[in-house]
Chains A and B, each alone.
Chain A
């Protein structure tokens, strides 16, 4: 053996422990910890403020704000729970039925339908709520109009009720439930059902006694996840709750901050209380999922044979079509109609048709700027974000770093904090940090990155766990340093996951409402809060036009991006 090799071996032994991997890990940790935890510190501090709300830092401390949650704000808490429970039940039913139809039966057009199931996700809850206000508003909503025309006397639909809010929330969250439950259904071993059928069990009996119990962990997990989301939901409650004098925790928080003097203490205390509950739910959810059948992540994905439903298949098809109609077709049609009228009236006899709303919306400099800002933020945050998140995911799931479990929790934290509350906390944090990014797009970018962490990390984690560890180990054995291995093996293999995460983050950024509401500045406006503002101050017609412009711009951007993405992943096919 040459002495040169020997010397390098010795040098390897004697080199100090600090290497590229450790440094990068440390850097990422510090940054993420700073972004996620610091605002929460401010939040906790402010929640204990029982003195002058405008004093930073607070001068009087106490827990009065928390106590009042259960005394004075009890009605709000009650509303929140009632609506969240109703919405969850409905969303799970919708998700379960759709998942069952599309994964277990031979409904015609299955692939097309599965694609269409993604559409409601592009219809943000804000746009959906606006549309349903037009469809099912009392006295003048479409449904009531038709009812009166058919001879009815009073309203049969009122969207400004607990049920109405829950309905809209469930309609759009149903897609998420669908995706989670169908993943669980797809990972079932078909032999389990087949043996039941061989024993003589009918289709219904098999479904009830075999399929259902096996899918239960997935359904339970979905239920917990959806419930947590419903607790923190803001857009639907804002649009539909306030006219009906129904306040939930998120809108109560919003309201508190708009008053003068703003009740920041109440807002923070409620926000933190919500956070604690959501955090508990999500922890519970993860425990259920880890113990349940999550076979798609590690094992083979079974392709269960669908049941032949005969003529029932068309009934099932129409159920799916009905969902698409309720969640996508009707809302867009309603908004389209509204946006083309001079006056937002659904009394068609009175309607005056015009394109002026679109002209106005497109000519309003701030609207154009807001849309551009949103898209730019989406592009920027998604691009930088996926790289950092890929690193994070690798650290959490692949490295042997001590404390990586804590990092996982850290990264998932923002999920448990309602975006609105997080936005508020970020506002204080950055108002008091002497780096001048307040009121700029940079602050929004930071905020978006932080609240998107759970989304990106979750998506990438699913992909990382599918990469066989030996692919990376082999690179190391071949002599590659950690950096070289990441660049040449890990990141290329992650490409499909990275693209998926990129697209999800892009979309989420463009739709973002809760955090942006507080962080906007005169030069840093984004589109979702502008639409909400328009709803409050510019009338429904203009709002409808803006909402549709936003939706179609996003869809256009996504189509372009999909094409690009498909081109990039072709070589992996």
Chain B
């Protein structure tokens, strides 16, 4: 048994079907001890379904799910442990705070199920509430809480019985932008402090990148790419990942040398790739944030002019016409250029990412 190994969760070849539709089509990944892994993708990609399958709330059709080496679901062995016996905790998108109980009772629920003593329950509940700064509202009826407060209670409830794994189903998506940003930080803090292994689902790529140890990008039931946030951002392997995470320019062309890529328009670009190109690649991606508008040495440089300028506050976005087509460029909001101004589009070969598919 691998109870001392570093793998907490192992999902292998998971397939989940609904009638004649396949929501999850062969997904495999592992989650290590204390790791915070995020399933990221657009709606309908199967991330929530996968998460719920780990909790036992969805019925897979094939594959296996192991937690701490124990088979929670295994099609070949016909194993299917019911939800209430899996011991994984979950925070729901709608918080699912029970309106007919107080905050205290909500958080104590899992402890009462485990038949802890009164004093133990009290101690654990107070500890959990302290962690989310909700101790002062312990006796309030849960239906009288604001959205943010409910979210904290849901969180406290999830960690109260000291689970080893916590699943998060888009827990912040119902909050407004400012609150979301704050909660992100707190969540991360909490997770670090308690050394919880977490699987997190979100469609917000900014959020995913900010708080995860590793990101699993999913699309239509399959995994597109697994990697650290930096890896996903800097080295997307597919058009989908490049497009979905962050903003990127996708330039079509073909590989014409060990490190050269010729665009359809004829421009020759230099790229740096960790693997040798197969020669089948047809696109490179260049992050909008990595493009300068003044020529830098060593970069791919293209002359062009500003076609449109949009001021976004934290950054300014230009649409530049150049030989490689229309490129989107994001720059810090200073030294704004006028529409029509001539520029030199400049980006380094490291930031010219060859997309594998």
Residues of A within 8 A of B (CB): 1, 5-6, 8-10, 12-13, 19, 400, 468, 470-471, 473-482, 484-485, 488-489, 492-493, 495, 571-572
Distance (whole angstroms) from the CB of A159 to the closest CB of chain B: 50
Can you give 5 A-B contacts (C-beta < 8 A)?
A6-B68, A9-B81, A473-B57, A479-B85, A479-B110
The CA of A489 and the CA of B110, in the complex, are separated in Å by 13
CB of A476 within 8 A of CB of B83, answer yes
The CA of A349 and the CA of B89, in the complex, are separated in Å by 82
CB of B84 within 8 A of CB of A480, answer yes
Which residues between 108 and 165 of chain B lie within 8 Å of chain A, taking CB atoms? 109-110, 113-114, 141, 143, 157, 161, 164
Distance (whole angstroms) from the CB of A432 to the closest CB of chain B: 43
CB of B71 within 8 A of CB of A479, answer no
Residues of B within 8 A of A (CB): 1, 3, 55-57, 59, 68, 70-71, 79, 81-85, 87-90, 92-94, 96, 98-100, 109-110, 113-114, 141, 143, 157, 161, 164
Contacts beyond the supplied A5-B87, A474-B98: 11 A-B pairs with Cβ under 8 Å: A6-B1, A6-B68, A13-B71, A473-B83, A473-B96, A475-B98, A476-B84, A477-B83, A478-B109, A480-B113, A484-B113
CB of A479 within 8 A of CB of B99, answer no
With A470-B94, A477-B89, A571-B100: A6-B55 Cβ-Cβ less than 8 Å = no
Contact of B82 among A8, A12, A488, A495 (CB under 8 A): A12
Interface of A is mostly: helix
The CA of A492 and the CA of B93, in the complex, are separated in Å by 22
CB of A477 within 8 A of CB of B70, answer no
CB of A470 within 8 A of CB of B88, answer no
Chain A residues lying within 8 Å of B161, measured Cβ to Cβ, are 478-479
Contact of A468 among B3, B96, B100, B114 (CB under 8 A): B96
Contact of B96 among A10, A471, A485, A571 (CB under 8 A): A471
The 5 closest A-B pairs by CB, nearest first: A478-B110, A12-B85, A470-B96, A474-B96, A476-B83
Residue of B nearest to A479 (CB): B113
Distance (whole angstroms) from the CB of A480 to the closest CB of chain B: 5
With A470-B94, A572-B100: A481-B84 Cβ-Cβ less than 8 Å = yes
Chain A residues lying within 8 Å of B113, measured Cβ to Cβ, are 478-480, 484
Distance (whole angstroms) from the CB of A14 to the closest CB of chain B: 9
CB of A477 within 8 A of CB of B68, answer no
Interface centre among A13, A471, A474 (most CB of B within 10 A): A474
Chain B residues lying within 8 Å of A9, measured Cβ to Cβ, are 68, 70, 81, 85, 87
Chain B residues lying within 8 Å of A484, measured Cβ to Cβ, are 113
CB of A13 within 8 A of CB of B70, answer yes
Chain A residues lying within 8 Å of B84, measured Cβ to Cβ, are 476-482, 485
The CA of A481 and the CA of B92, in the complex, are separated in Å by 19
CB of A1 within 8 A of CB of B81, answer no
Contact of B92 among A12, A474, A485 (CB under 8 A): A474
CB of A1 within 8 A of CB of B164, answer yes
Chain B residues lying within 8 Å of A479, measured Cβ to Cβ, are 84-85, 87, 110, 113-114, 161
CB of A475 within 8 A of CB of B99, answer no
Chain A residues lying within 8 Å of B70, measured Cβ to Cβ, are 6, 9-10, 13
CB of B98 within 8 A of CB of A489, answer yes
Chain B residues lying within 8 Å of A468, measured Cβ to Cβ, are 94, 96
Residue of B nearest to A9 (CB): B70
The CA of A482 and the CA of B114, in the complex, are separated in Å by 14
Distance (whole angstroms) from the CB of B32 to the closest CB of chain A: 15
CB of A470 within 8 A of CB of B92, answer yes
Residue of B nearest to A485 (CB): B84
The CA of A484 and the CA of B85, in the complex, are separated in Å by 13
With A1-B164, A468-B96, A489-B98: A474-B81 Cβ-Cβ less than 8 Å = no
With A10-B70, A12-B85: A477-B98 Cβ-Cβ less than 8 Å = no
Distance (whole angstroms) from the CB of A521 to the closest CB of chain B: 44
Distance (whole angstroms) from the CB of A286 to the closest CB of chain B: 21
Contact of B109 among A8, A480, A492, A572 (CB under 8 A): A480
The CA of A249 and the CA of B68, in the complex, are separated in Å by 68
The CA of A481 and the CA of B216, in the complex, are separated in Å by 32
The CA of A135 and the CA of B76, in the complex, are separated in Å by 77
Chain A residues lying within 8 Å of B57, measured Cβ to Cβ, are 473, 476-477
Contact of A493 among B81, B92, B99, B109 (CB under 8 A): B99
Chain A residues lying within 8 Å of B157, measured Cβ to Cβ, are 474, 478
Chain A residues lying within 8 Å of B81, measured Cβ to Cβ, are 9, 12-13
CB of B3 within 8 A of CB of A477, answer no
The CA of A489 and the CA of B92, in the complex, are separated in Å by 16
CB of B109 within 8 A of CB of A477, answer no
Chain B residues lying within 8 Å of A495, measured Cβ to Cβ, are 100
Chain B residues lying within 8 Å of A572, measured Cβ to Cβ, are 99-100, 143
The CA of A1 and the CA of B67, in the complex, are separated in Å by 11
The CA of A161 and the CA of B137, in the complex, are separated in Å by 68
Residue of A nearest to B100 (CB): A492
Distance (whole angstroms) from the CB of B1 to the closest CB of chain A: 7
Residue of B nearest to A14 (CB): B79
With A478-B110, A478-B161: A471-B98 Cβ-Cβ less than 8 Å = yes
